[in-house]
């Protein structure tokens, strides 16, 4: 499993940012840079690690596609955190997880017997919770693993934009920046998406009944979370319902919820208001800083 590392590789304070189902770790370039700038401004050494979950980005593909499931992803993250802890001991661990990455973080934070090097202190769940709306899973299943090839980066970006309108408004420059790491050049020319199309195999096996059973298990895990928790929700999200986000405010860690207007599933954490929400939660500006009179 590959990961992208930003900042001070010896810093004891670590923020891990994990992407959604068909995305990759470069989704967090804007957030990572902003976190490092905020850390520098407040004198806090920081490293930010953004993994490519197995089967995505620069990570290897699995021989058995049925391995593309959360038990694998959680195990891989534990192995990564252990390696990072050996290279430079950790004393603070925060987690930012978009969609699938949020479920991985929820699992790590809410299962106390897992061998984390340090507990997760602050947890951001980006447009995801224990209950996932079935209609959203059906929508995702319509395009997952069916991308084909593209003649140019611009053509690929437009194709991805067409199935990602729920991400909310982006400038052409922002969208190209999000799209370039999603592509792999082909030897014969052109491009394909970065991920193993076989990640769609276990996804296609999920039934509505199994989804309901998984939801019950995830609520039990969520109720055990002790990390300070922030839920980000696209106000038009079809995956994280208002009812679920409200329940997350009342149960378990009693998460704080912030909604972004004009956005569905999921906020890309590129827009300034989204980035500042992440920064203020993970690295709040010191109240001890003298203010000009």
pLDDT digits (tens, 9 = 90+) for 154-173: 999 999 998 888 999 999 99
pLDDT band for position 49 (50/70/90)? Answer: very high
Structure tokens at 244: 């679920």
Query: How far from 83 is each of 9, 36, 56, 76, 146, CA to CA, in Å?
Result: 12, 22, 20, 11, 35
pLDDT of res. 163: 84
Average pLDDT over residues 124-147: 91
The CATH superfamily holding the domain 3-144+203-282 is: Alpha/Beta hydrolase fold, catalytic domain (3.40.50.1820)
pLDDT score for 288: 45
In this prediction, residue 146 carries a pLDDT of 81
How many angstroms separate the CA atoms of 278 and 272, rounded? 10
Residue 98 pLDDT level (bands cut at 50, 70, 90): very high
pLDDT surpasses 90 at 259: yes
**pLDDT tens per residue across span 4-21:** 999 999 999 999 999 999
* Nearest CA-CA partner of 266 in 291, 293, 231: 231
Averaged pLDDT, 143-156 = 88
Give me the pLDDT at residue 289, please: 42
CB neighbours (10 Å) of residue 243? 11
pLDDT of residue 264: 96
pLDDT of residue 148: 82
| 3-state secondary structure at position 15 | strand
**Selection from 95, 197, 205, 231 nearest residue 214 by Cα:** 205
> Quick one: pLDDT at residue 142?
85
CB count within 10 Å of CB 247 equals: 17
Please give the radius of gyration of the chain, using alpha carbons only, rounded to the nearest integer.
19
Q: Which residues of 60-69 are buried (b: 16+ CB within 10 A; e: fewer)?
A: eeeeebebbe
| pLDDT confidence of residue 286 | 63
Sign for the pseudo-dihedral over CA of 120, 121, 125, 131: positive
What distances in angstroms separate CA 69 from CA 35, 73, 82, one per listed residue? 30, 7, 20
Give the span between the Cα atoms of 47 and 186, in whole angstroms: 33
Strands (E), 169-227: 183-185, 191-193
Provide the percentage of residues in the chain whose pLDDT is more than 70: 97
Q: Which two tokens stand for residue 183?
A: 């592509």
Q: Between vectors from CA 54 to CA 52 and to CA 57, what angle results, nearest 5°?
A: 40
Q: What average pLDDT does range 174-195 have in this prediction?
A: 94
> For residue 102, how many C-alpha atoms fall within 13 Å in the half-sphere facing its CB?
24
Mean pLDDT within 35-61: 96
Boundaries of every domain in the chain? 3-144+203-282, 146-194
Q: What are the structure tokens assigned to 186, written together?
A: 């082909």
- pLDDT mean over 20-41: 97
Query: What confidence score (pLDDT) does residue 291 get?
Result: 42
Mean pLDDT in residue range 25-31: 97
Q: How many CB atoms lie within 10 A of CB 280?
A: 13
């Amino acid at each position: 499993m590959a990961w992208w590392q930003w900042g001070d590789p010896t810093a004891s304070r670590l923020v891990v940012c994990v992407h959604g189902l068909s995305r990759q770790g470069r989704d967090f370039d804007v957030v990572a840079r902003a976190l490092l700038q905020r850390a520098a401004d407040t004198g806090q050494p920081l490293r930010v690690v953004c993994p490519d979950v197995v089967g995505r980005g620069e990570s290897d593909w699995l021989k058995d596609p049925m391995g593309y499931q959360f038990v694998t992803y959680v195990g891989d993250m534990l192995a990564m955190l252990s390696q990072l802890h050996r290279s430079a001991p950790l004393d603070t661990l925060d987690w930012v997880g978009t969609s699938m990455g949020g479920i991985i973080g929820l699992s790590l934070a809410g299962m106390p017997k897992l061998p984390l090097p340090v507990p997760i202190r602050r947890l951001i769940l980006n447009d995801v919770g224990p209950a996932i709306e079935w209609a959203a899973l059906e929508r995702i299943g319509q395009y997952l693993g069916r991308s084909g090839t593209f003649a140019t980066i611009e053509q690929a970006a437009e194709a991805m934009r067409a199935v990602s309108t729920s991400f909310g408004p982006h400038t052409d420059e922002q969208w190209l920046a999000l799209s370039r790491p999603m592509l792999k050049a082909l030897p014969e020319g052109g491009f394909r998406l970065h991920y193993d199309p076989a990640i769609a195999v276990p996804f296609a096996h999920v039934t509505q009944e199994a989804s309901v059973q998984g939801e019950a298990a995830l609520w039990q895990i969520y109720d055990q979370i002790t990390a300070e928790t922030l839920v980000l929700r696209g106000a038009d999200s079809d995956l994280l319902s208002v009812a679920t986000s409200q329940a997350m405010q009342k149960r378990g860690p009693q998460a704080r919820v912030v909604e972004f207007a004009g956005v569905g599933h999921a906020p890309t954490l590129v827009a300034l208001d989204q980035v500042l929400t992440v920064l203020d939660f993970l690295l709040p500006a010191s109240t001890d800083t003298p203010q000009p009179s």
